[in-house]
């Protein structure tokens, strides 16, 4: 599809009408070329001119020519389940366990509960207002445009920096099998593969993530079952029942306990990064979003909490090999491999299997880097917070300029040839170090403001297609948890565990805080609102433009029919739908 412009070029708001003659070229080259042409959204000029600034922005964001419902339920469910299963779990988890299994369990549990509140809040808003960039644009809508831009730009930056880093990680993973091939060749292959995959379209992203996530999930399940057998004294070359002896000797905590818990939080934040992908894109149907959000609890409980318990029963936290997870992509630093090698159970053979799984996980994260960053960049362009060129969406619904930006930044992967690549990426990541906690907290704040705006304007949750399981109090809990996590991270960055205060460590962990303040102040200065209100008044928040369900009476009737339909189902089906 394509749209041709009508009216004067001097018009600030343009009208677009569909031109059927453009698609007449049947040659393969012509079709491919046409697919990359800009698909300009069709706006009603008169309607736009009658709106205020906030309504106009919301209207434009809601009418972007994306491929609606391109991500199916099965895609989103697997993205929700396997989206965070990356190197943070397969390798980095070892460093957290080395801080004490009890501290690791508490740290991951705290962050996991916060993430659950965040996903529920974000899902409610995305179902109500399906826009690209999702929570970033919702922060702009329900809190303040300056804060929304700050969160969105920092979130996009985090994914952009992660892309080349993950490509380097993939090349390092391959060298476990063959170290004779130059890593530069591998990063070039992986870069081309990920970029091509994203250029195919959002359905290709969903399909690839579906299968990659299945592989990761199967690997975790196999490990958990094998681990339980070994803990109980089964398996080849077994030394007998192990149980929880390592929780008693050397113990569950490293002293001081509070510092050790705080030290696991940033690792937990890194590991859970990507949880919000299931509530990021407007290219998803409402029922898929609501079902995917219910998977978050099970993912946290099964794939993190259970894994931590199994590994900590098989490996004492004093095992020095666990510390390799903080600085290395070496498969021998994987706590999964260490756990099985400690029991003499197929450690070498399992390491090859886990290396393949880690490669899959790294490529999956790299794929998500391009997907997430390109959507947020497109939303910033469409909302006028970046130049309009960044809002470019082609005839296949791809945010093309956003993908190009991510691809160009991805070329930093060729730093793998430099001996200084570790230092470069350490400081690049410091730009967005603990910003993920601010991003998650802002989602909860936006949800609180959304609910307060409903009340202030005399409306209620009946007009919502989905309501968060814990309601607005879940978001309050999320803000409290994430605020305490941020405070704990700042504290542990100033006074690290087991070492004196270090300025370099502090800035590596917390540089994103002053950076976000500078971005926030700069945005307000550039837009001429430096001394303006800090947030949008509740009675002025736009609750109508771009709604997924504009007819409230029809929505209420549909929800009533769904409840009646569910009431007629067997009890096992009701339980399944309640939890999944």
Residue-wise pLDDT tens digits, 142-173? 999 999 999 999 888 988 988 888 888 888 88
SS3 state of residue 38: strand
SS3 state of residue 71: strand
Alpha-carbon distance values, 456 to 40, 57, 120, 460 (Å): 36, 22, 22, 10
Q: What is the pLDDT of residue 558?
A: 82
Q: What is the pLDDT of residue 580?
A: 65
Q: What is the pLDDT of residue 507?
A: 83
Q: Where are the domains of the chain?
A: 70-549
Q: What is the pLDDT of residue 408?
A: 94
CB burial string 141-170: b at 16+ within 10 A, e below: bbbbbbbbbbbbbbbbbbbbbbbbbbbbbb
Q: Which of the four CATH numbers 1.10.10.60, 3.50.50.60, 3.40.50.970, 1.20.1740.10 does domain 70-549 have?
A: 1.20.1740.10
Q: What angle do CA 408, 202, 145 make, to 5 degrees?
A: 70
Torsion of CA 121, 123, 129, 134, to 10 degrees: 90
Positions in the chain whose pLDDT score sits under 50 = 1-24, 327-328
Alpha-carbon distance values, 454 to 411, 449, 457, 472, 553 (Å): 45, 9, 5, 12, 17
pTM of the model: 0.86
SS3 state of residue 35: helix
Q: Which residues pair with 16 in a beta bridge?
A: 5
H helices present in 299-434, as ranges? 307-314, 335-342, 347-382, 400-410, 421-430
383 neighbors 137 (Cβ within 8 angstroms) = yes
Q: Report the C-alpha gap between 37 and 527 in whole angstroms.
A: 31
E strand or H helix that includes residue 266: helix 257-272
E strand or H helix that includes residue 445: helix 435-456
Given the structure tokens 């270090």, which residue do they identify? 502
Instruction: Tell me the per-residue pLDDT of 40-56, one tens digit each, with 9 for 90 and over.
Output: 777 777 777 778 777 88
Paired tokens of 557:
């009737």
Question: Residue 396: which of 38, 49, 82 has the closest Cα?
Answer: 38
């Amino acid at each position: 599809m394509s749209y041709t412009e009508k009216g004067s070029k001097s018009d600030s708001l343009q009208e677009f009408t569909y031109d059927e003659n453009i698609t007449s070229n049947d040659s393969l080259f012509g079709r491919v070329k046409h697919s990359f042409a800009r698909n300009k959204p069709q706006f009603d000029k008169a309607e736009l001119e009658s709106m205020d600034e906030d309504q106009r922005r919301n209207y434009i964001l809601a009418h972007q020519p994306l491929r609606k419902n391109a991500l199916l339920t099965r895609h989103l469910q697997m993205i929700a389940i396997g989206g965070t299963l990356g190197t943070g779990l397969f390798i980095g988890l070892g460093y957290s366990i080395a801080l004490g299994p009890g501290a690791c369990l508490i740290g991951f549990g705290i962050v996991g509960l916060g993430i659950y509140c965040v996903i529920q809040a974000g899902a409610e808003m995305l179902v109500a207002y399906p826009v690209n960039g999702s929570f970033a644009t919702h922060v702009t809508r329900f809190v303040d445009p300056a804060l929304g831009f700050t969160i969105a730009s920092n979130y996009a930056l985090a994914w952009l920096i992660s892309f080349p880093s993950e490509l380097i990680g993939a090349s390092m993973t391959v060298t476990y099998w063959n170290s004779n091939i130059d890593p530069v060749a591998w990063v070039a292959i992986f870069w081309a593969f990920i970029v091509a995959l994203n250029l195919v379209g959002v359905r290709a992203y969903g399909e690839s993530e579906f299968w990659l996530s299945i592989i990761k999930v199967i690997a975790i399940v196999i490990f958990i079952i094998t681990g339980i057998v070994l803990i109980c004294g089964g398996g080849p070359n077994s030394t007998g029942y192990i149980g929880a002896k390592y929780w008693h000797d050397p113990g569950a905590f490293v002293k001081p306990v509070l510092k050790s818990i705080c030290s696991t939080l940033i690792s937990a934040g890194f590991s859970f990064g990507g949880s919000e992908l299931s509530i990021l894109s407007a290219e998803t149907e409402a029922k898929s979003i609501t079902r995917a959000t219910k998977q978050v609890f099970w993912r946290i409980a099964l794939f993190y909490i259970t894994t931590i318990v199994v590994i900590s029963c098989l490996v004492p936290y004093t095992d020095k090999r666990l510390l390799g997870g903080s600085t290395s992509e070496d498969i021998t630093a994987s706590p999964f491999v260490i756990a099985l090698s400690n029991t003499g159970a197929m450690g070498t053979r399992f390491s090859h299997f886990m290396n393949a799984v880690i490669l899959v996980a790294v490529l999956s994260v790299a794929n998500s880097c391009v997907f997430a960053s390109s959507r947020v960049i497109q939303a910033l362009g469409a909302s006028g917070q970046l130049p309009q060129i960044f809002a470019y969406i082609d005839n296949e619904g791809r945010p093309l300029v956003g993908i190009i930006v991510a691809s160009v930044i991805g070329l930093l992967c060729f730093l793998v040839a430099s001996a200084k690549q570790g230092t470069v990426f350490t400081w690049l990541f410091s730009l967005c170090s603990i910003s993920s906690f601010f991003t998650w907290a802002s989602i909860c704040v936006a949800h609180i403001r959304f609910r307060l705006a409903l009340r202030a304007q005399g409306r209620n949750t009946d007009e919502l297609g989905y309501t968060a399981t814990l309601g607005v109090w879940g978001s309050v809990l999320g803000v409290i948890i994430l605020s305490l996590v941020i405070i704990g991270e700042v504290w542990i960055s100033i006074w690290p565990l087991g070492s004196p205060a270090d300025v370099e460590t502090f800035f590596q962990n917390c540089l994103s805080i002053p950076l976000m303040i500078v971005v926030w102040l700069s945005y307000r200065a550039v837009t001429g609102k430096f001394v303006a209100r800090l947030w949008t008044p509740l009675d002025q928040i736009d609750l109508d433009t771009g709604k997924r369900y504009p007819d409230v009476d029809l929505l209420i009737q549909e929800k009533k029919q769904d409840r009646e339909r569910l009431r007629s189902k067997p009890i096992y089906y009701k339980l399944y739908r309640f939890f999944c």
